[in-house]
């Protein structure tokens, strides 16, 4: 184990990727795992040192230097927890990457992600301010990022370059075959460099659970439109999409409606509406769908709906419905 990394955690859902891959590819080794499979959930954490130990044990058994890439290639949205659900209902990769930066710590809280733009490139960069988890942990993490990105879209995309802060392993060719680009080791930072145009790439249909929630919300909005309740054509849809993208602001909704913030405020005022009240109503209706689906924790839902914290979500929900989210879920 790399003693330089004694801080940070990964989510249980993410760690379960190793268990699932071993179950699928190496059941005889999976049966000998000396670790308890963690219960999935955003609040269930596994320390980075423990995650290192799991990967190192598996490598000792398999003696396969390409193991972290094979594990990464097995990733599914469920392994990404809330981030997986949220990313899968974004409109394009640009929104999904923004959510990655916002929610990365729920899945992989080690070193902070920094996003930079250079010419026609977008650079996702991680330093070593909280330690160096080591080759196995970093290789799985970057492999998962690229594999999960390709799970979200119809046509595979490849980075321009990948680099790792760790020393060069013996099997560089496996990494270049997996990432389909040059891979550098012993660099100052761990980075994934993408073409800037990638951000406009549309996503496939959302994850079925989240899609069901959003479809229910869309039907509700359609009823409001038909009943003449929508203050501005397209306003409810723009609100819902801005919440899903993690940026439910006046400026973002106005941008989606192709109007200025001043015009949007004026038209809402003419209808006797306020942006804050309309946003709260949409968030609460989306929260009801999430609560009824039963797939996400209250903390997950608060994050998905872009509240500052679970307490803010609970107060807003109770203010509108008269019930706390927990009581509403039990009642349903």
Domain edge (last residue) among 200, 218, 233? 200
Instruction: Name the domain boundary from 200, 227, 250.
Output: 200
Contact call for residues 45 and 10 (beta carbons, < 8 A) = yes
Task: Give the residue ranges of DSSP H helices in 230-309.
Answer: 235-244, 250-256, 261-270, 275-293, 298-304
Looking at the structure, tell me whether residues 188 and 116 fall in a common domain: yes
Instruction: From 154, 181, 200, give the residue that closes a domain.
Output: 200
Domain containing 52: what range?
Answer: 9-200
Name 117's bridge partners: 122
Asked if 45 and 12 count as a contact pair (C-beta separation under 8 A), the reply is: yes
Mark whether 148 and 32 lie in a shared domain: yes
Q: In a 3-state reduction of DSSP, which class is residue 75? A: coil
Q: Are the CB atoms for 50 and 133 separated by under 8 Å? A: no
> Considering the domain boundaries, does residue 2 fall inside one?
no
How high is the pLDDT of residue 295?
63
Render pLDDT for 104-155 as a digit per residue (tens, 0 to 9): 776 787 888 888 999 999 999 998 887 889 999 999 999 999 999 998 898 8
- Which residues in the chain come in under a pLDDT of 50? 1-6, 42, 225-227
Sequence-ordered alpha helix ranges (H) in 126-274: 135-151, 172-179, 208-226, 235-244, 250-256, 261-270
| 216 shares its domain with 317 | yes
Alpha carbons 331 and 93: distance in angstroms, whole number = 37
Same domain, 233 and 266: yes
184 with 216, same domain?
Answer: no
Is there a domain that residue 1 lies in?
no
179 and 318: one domain? Answer: no
Per-residue model confidence (pLDDT) at position 205? 62
Q: Are residues 193 and 215 both part of a single domain? A: no
Here the CATH number for the domain that contains residue 220 is 1.10.10.60
In a domain, 4, yes or no: no
This prediction has a pTM of: 0.67
């Amino acid at each position: 184990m790399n003693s330089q990394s004694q801080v940070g955690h990964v989510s249980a859902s993410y760690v379960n990727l190793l268990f699932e891959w071993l179950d699928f590819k190496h059941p005889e080794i999976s049966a000998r795992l000396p670790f308890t499979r963690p219960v999935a959930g955003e609040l269930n954490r596994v320390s980075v040192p423990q995650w290192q130990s799991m990967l190192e044990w598996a490598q000792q058994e398999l003696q396969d230097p390409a193991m972290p890439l094979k594990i990464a290639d097995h990733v599914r949205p469920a392994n990404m927890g809330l981030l997986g659900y949220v990313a899968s209902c974004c409109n394009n990769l640009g929104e999904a990457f923004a959510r990655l930066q916002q929610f990365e710590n729920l899945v992989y809280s080690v070193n902070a992600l920094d996003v930079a733009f250079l010419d026609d490139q977008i650079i996702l960069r991680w330093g070593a301010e909280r330690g160096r988890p080591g080759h196995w942990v970093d290789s799985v993490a970057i492999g998962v990022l690229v594999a999960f990105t390709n799970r979200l879209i119809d046509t595979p995309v490849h980075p321009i370059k990948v680099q790792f802060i760790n020393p060069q392993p013996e099997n560089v060719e496996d990494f270049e075959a997996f990432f389909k680009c040059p891979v550098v080791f012993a660099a100052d930072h761990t980075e994934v460099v993408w073409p800037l145009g990638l951000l406009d790439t549309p996503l496939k249909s959302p994850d079925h659970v989240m899609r069901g929630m959003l479809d229910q919300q869309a039907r509700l909005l359609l009823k409001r439109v038909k009943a003449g309740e929508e203050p501005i054509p397209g306003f409810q849809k723009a609100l819902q999409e801005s919440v899903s993208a993690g940026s439910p602001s006046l400026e973002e909704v106005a941008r989606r409606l192709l109007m200025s913030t001043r015009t949007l405020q004026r038209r809402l005022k003419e209808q006797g509406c306020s942006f804050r009240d309309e946003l709260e109503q949409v968030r609460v209706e989306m929260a009801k769908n999430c609560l009824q689906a039963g797939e996400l924790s209250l903390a997950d839902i608060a994050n998905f709906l872009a509240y500052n914290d679970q307490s803010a979500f609970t107060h807003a929900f109770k203010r509108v419905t008269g019930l706390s989210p927990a009581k509403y879920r039990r009642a349903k």
